Amino acid sequence: MARPFHADIGAQTPFFYIFRERELVYDLFEAATGMRMMHNYFRIGGVAADLPYGWIDKCLDFCDYFLTGVTEYQKLITRNPIFLERVEGVGIIGRDEVINWGLSGPMLRASGIQWDLRKIDHYECYDEFDWEVQWQKEGDSLARYLVRIGEMAESIKIIQQALEGIPGGPYENLEIRYFDRKRYPEWHDFEYRFISKKPSPTFELPKQELYVRVEAPKGELGIFLIGDQSGFPWRWKIRPPGFINLQILPQLVKRMKLADIMTILGSIDIIMGEVDR
């Protein structure tokens, strides 16, 4: 698990405060999926089970509470002179460098490039929501922190709008389930009513190369597949954003003190990671 940014630079208080919001998020996950982590909830064209009664109202209440928490963290951290001295002007990555190294996510946007796949690729229903891409132009550890803090507030805006626009109707793709009825004749048996035991429908992959990318919290998360007319891909490759963003680290830490290296590592890898995830 990635190290929280503020713990890396000696600020333990915000790190422990964040556990409050993390536990509330886990409560929402558990109420909807039955598990706090490692969920088996999403399905092709839907989800495994409908949301329980009162979940949407509980989630909206959390959004209001979380916005006040973000304001508290900004007062506690963003305006702290000790914190600013540790991160401002440290680990600067220029606009050209961030492109040449193939960095993405907050690393890219903190260096003056307004690039967010949710806006660029127009996938899912993000175009229907009112939200802004968070970006800075300084390219240092402080800029990467500010991008993350801004994205927390923007994420709450997206969640609130999505909850208000949830339509009625079935929660799963009934056609996909019908296609798999021959393969899984026991689909409606008692033991398959539980979320953790309901298998995801499978389908035949065409004989071609496929690449799909989404904007994850750390950057571009890509999935590459090569199909061969079967239910299993001939090749499957995941492009994780975190590891690729870290490849610039050896260049940034040259002739730096250990304390500054920890600051850079925290700002690159993850910032307030448990809440953001």
Please work out, in degrees rounded to the nearest 5, the angle formed at the alpha carbon of residue 107 by the alpha carbons of 12 and 71.
45
| The residue count for the chain | 277
Cα of 68 vs its chain's centroid, Å: 21
Other Cβ atoms closer than 10 A to 154? 16
Inter-CA distances, 158 with 98, 103, 154, 265, Å: 27, 25, 6, 29
pLDDT at res. 276: 39
Token pair of 222 as six digits: 């890509």
Half-sphere exposure of 221 (CA within 13 A, CB side): 7
Query: At 227, which amino acid appears?
Result: G
Model pLDDT, residue 94: 92
Tokens 């996510």 belong to 105
Q: What is the pLDDT along the chain (277 residues), one digit of tens a residue?
A: 334 566 666 667 777 888 889 999 999 999 999 888 888 888 777 888 889 999 999 999 999 999 998 888 888 888 888 888 888 888 899 999 999 999 999 999 999 999 999 999 999 999 999 999 999 999 998 999 999 999 999 999 999 999 998 888 777 665 555 555 555 555 555 555 555 555 555 677 889 999 999 999 899 999 999 998 887 889 999 999 988 888 888 888 887 777 777 777 767 764 434 333 3
pLDDT of residue 275: 35
Q: Which residue has the tokens 């800075």?
A: 136
> Phi, psi (5° rounding) for residue 161?
-65, -35
Note the pLDDT of residue 199.
Answer: 57
> What is the spatial distance between Cα 260 and Cα 91, in angstroms, rounded to a whole number?
8
Residue-level pLDDT at 243: 84
Q: What is the pLDDT of residue 9?
A: 63
